[in-house]
Chains A and B, each alone.
Chain A
Amino acid sequence: MKKALLASAIAAVAGTGAFAQEDPINVGIIFGFTGPIESLTPPMADSAELAMNEVNEAGGILGGRMLEPVRADSTCIDSSAATAAAERLVTGDGVAAIVGADCSGVTGAVLANVAVPNGVVMISPSATSPALSAAEDNDLFFRTAPSDARQGEVLANILNDRGVSEVAVTYTNNDYGKGLADSFAQSFEELGGTITLSAPHEDGKADYSAEIGALSSAGGEVLAVFGYADQGGKGVIQSAIDTGAFDTFMMGDGMFADTLMNDLGQYMEGSFGAVPWTQGEGTEAFAEVAGAAGINPDSTFTRESYDAAALIALAMAAAGTTDANEWKGSVMDVANAPGEEILPGQLGRALEILAEGGDVDYVGATNVELVGPGEAAGTYREYTVEASDYETVQFR
């Protein structure tokens, strides 16, 4: 009875026409299921689908239409493959929105080549390159992860507070790594620090002794690693530890992974870093919801993925249409105040409020607060490696 009431209430808001349509709304999920971050993406996709399931269990949106996730492979590194996959999502599956992409480079490519020309909204949970803030996006692009411009600042402050003035930097050679290294260098030099050498490394390569040789020769108290934990970043750290070139490392968000601690944690005592983090009710609620669905809530970017999918559903419900040009404006409305605060697991409640014409402030798993061109403001957790585990120092 409640469901029927709800459905008719939504239909009343959504207007005529929507009522007759019972076919599902396809939502694309484009992550790198193969490639450098293939071990991170399955829990991310599961989290996005978790949010969609929750919406479906609450009776769907726009008069009982269900959300139907369609996965595609961004490969993380190959822009042409990602573009082709996204093109297929839009033209073949007719997706109304895209959760993704994941890595910054392919996200920029998909945005410019597919999303903007076809008028499809993209919400990326993990593309953090500062360059995307300025991308030509017709307001179609949002991200639930903060830009790396902010992360660079945070990392520079951490070093400054620890009294470190000389560092060597190595970054993964892509938009993410370069963007983070640049924003870090800018902030760190403003604080009076010196970067002895900033050397890129390629992911998935056989050997990093050349990079470590050069970095060690350049010197520095700490080696800053802006890479991926299951890729080059780990290779570089391993090589640095093995040769005794560096003992202490500072790590960017891509390096946050339990596997790194299991394999190398014992040699990294005293190393530190930062990772986008949230605490509080939303995070706990997500841990509960995700745990019940068998997803590891602490895996990288799972929270952001859940939020990205939830925002898509809520924004469509708020605008009462799947036409991107009309609902793209609702994303900021549902994400920010005013309105009733919505935590993970309460999407059904949010849909009810929207159906009644009320306002929601989606808090989600990451305290979503979209600023500027539609990106998360971001809180970072500063951690230190102690006894092969991440120990929180503070939140910044």
Chain B
Amino acid sequence: MDLVNALVALLNFVVIPATAYGAQLALGALGVTLIYGILRFSNFAHGDTMAFGAMATILVTWVLQGAGISFGPLPTALLALPVGIVAAAALLLATDKVVYRFYRRQRVTPVILVIVSMGVMFIYNGLVRFIIGPDDQSFGDGARFIINARQFRDMTGLSEPLAFKTSQGITIVTAVIVVAILFWFLNHTRTGKSMRAFSDNEDLALLSGINPDRVVKITWIIVAALATVAGVLYGLDKSFHPFTYFQLLLPVFAAAIVGGLGSPLGAIVGGFVIAYSEVTVTYAFKKVANYVLPENLEIDSLAQLLSTDYKFAVSFAILVIVLLFRPTGLFRGKAV
């Protein structure tokens, strides 16, 4: 019984939250890595693109909720998602037309594009606050839990609770589906292949007749979809607050770089590495250990490797270590 309790505690406080968080980071990092691979710059506006997509989705969700339309036990926001993606894609394409294309034609160095994207970030930042305000918005509905903590305790008689939120379940399932579609698209369709060719060698791709404008356009649309999905899932799981999306930028970039910028598979692995390291290294194993250990060996200390203060230091320490020993990231992306 104690062993089961230990397992449940570990699942509840480490495995489930870290997996859901990792999936959100992975989706964000995929967008960053695609832009880096194909457009060749680090897009600092990505966090706020997520916020914009989520905001558009929320507005549509409210309209649907107002009209009395719901999605059964699933959150209504999933129905509104396609509209959010279209809005985000429109914004990104417009930005590309007005801002990025100008710099691309001048063939500026990537570092200038990075600075430009910071400017874009601040504009998106203001745009989102202007439309929906700086406040916290909650838009989740439907069933909140797949497994409820208290019910689980009552049902099993275990002393440890186990909670599995609907939003966590949706996050993981959606992430798997989105990633599967993306990989199929990149590996098996003509457009996907032309995108990979463009990423590998721009000049050769142009010579073989690939239309660069089309590749850029499709990249932005895919990025809009990824960013909106990540933003909405994150908002459903926690809550929508424009400020946190801005802060999300750091772990998302850490995930993309650890995995190897430009490598989609790396972005996914990077997201989970960052999420799991943040949670496990700072977890106090006291409770789990005391369930497993015999009574006379019980420990009083927290058995915590690092205090939670160092949570962010952990992800950045991993980032530094990876960059030192494998500058291209775990999956041989482009050197930074």
Contacts and interface: CB of A to CB of B under 8 A. Distances in A.
B302 A218 contact: yes
B13 A217 contact: yes
A230 B135 contact: yes
B60 interface: no
A201 B307 CA distance: 11
Interface in B64-87: none
B136 A234 contact: yes
Contacts of A138: none
Interface in A197-222: 197, 199-202, 204-207, 209-214, 216-219
B251 A206 contact: yes
A212 B311 CA distance: 12
A209 B150 contact: no
A263 interface: yes
B17 interface: yes
B163 A201 contact: no
A238 interface: yes
Nearest to B125: A34
A209 B239 contact: no
A200 B241 contact: no
B247 interface: yes
B48 interface: no
B23 to A, nearest CB: 12
Nearest to A39: B135
Contact of A217 (B133, B161, B241, B287): B287
Interface in B236-269: 238-239, 241, 243-244, 246-248, 251
A245 interface: yes
Nearest to B134: A38
A303 B247 CA distance: 31
B283 A213 contact: yes
Contacts of A262: 138
A244 B153 contact: yes
A31 B307 CA distance: 32
Chain A interface residue bracket vs B: 35 or more
Interface in A16-56: 34-36, 38-39
A167 to B, nearest CB: 15
A218 B307 CA distance: 12
B335 to A, nearest CB: 27
A244 B163 CA distance: 7
Nearest to B282: A210
A186 interface: no
B287 A243 contact: no
B234 A206 contact: yes
Interface string A222-236: 000000001100110
A173 B309 contact: yes
Contacts of B288: 217
B35 to A, nearest CB: 20
Contact of B136 (A201, A217, A230): A230
A259 interface: yes
Contacts of B149: 242-244
Contact of B243 (A204, A212, A234): A204
A365 B152 CA distance: 48
A238 B309 CA distance: 19
A200 B163 contact: no
A239 B153 CA distance: 17
Contacts of A217: 9, 13, 283-288, 302, 304
A197 B284 contact: yes
B308 A201 contact: yes
Contacts of A243: 12-13, 17, 149, 161, 163
A214 B283 contact: yes
B197 interface: no
A262 B239 CA distance: 13
Nearest to B148: A244
A204 B239 CA distance: 11
Given A214-B302, A234-B136, A259-B136, A204 B278 contact: no
Contacts of B21: 206-207, 209
B146 to A, nearest CB: 12
B286 A207 contact: no
Nearest to A244: B149
Contacts of B239: 234-235, 238, 263
B287 A199 contact: no
Contact of A219 (B152, B238, B287): B287
Interface of A: 34-36, 38-39, 173, 197, 199-202, 204-207, 209-214, 216-219, 230-231, 234-235, 238-239, 242-245, 259, 262-263
Interface of B: 9, 12-14, 17-18, 21, 24-25, 133-136, 138, 149-150, 152-153, 161-163, 165, 234, 238-239, 241, 243-244, 246-248, 251, 275, 278-279, 282-288, 302, 304, 307-309, 311-312
Given A210-B279, A230-B241, 17 more contacts: A35-B243, A36-B243, A197-B284, A204-B246, A205-B247, A206-B25, A206-B251, A209-B14, A209-B18, A211-B311, A214-B307, A216-B13, A217-B284, A217-B288, A230-B135, A235-B239, A244-B163
Instruction: Report the 6 A-B pairs with minimum CB-CB distance, sorted nearest first.
Output: A244-B149, A244-B161, A209-B17, A213-B13, A217-B284, A214-B284
29 contacts: A36-B243, A39-B135, A199-B308, A199-B309, A200-B308, A202-B311, A204-B243, A206-B238, A206-B244, A207-B238, A207-B275, A209-B17, A209-B279, A210-B278, A210-B311, A213-B283, A214-B282, A214-B283, A216-B13, A217-B286, A217-B302, A218-B286, A234-B136, A234-B239, A235-B239, A243-B12, A243-B161, A244-B162, A262-B138
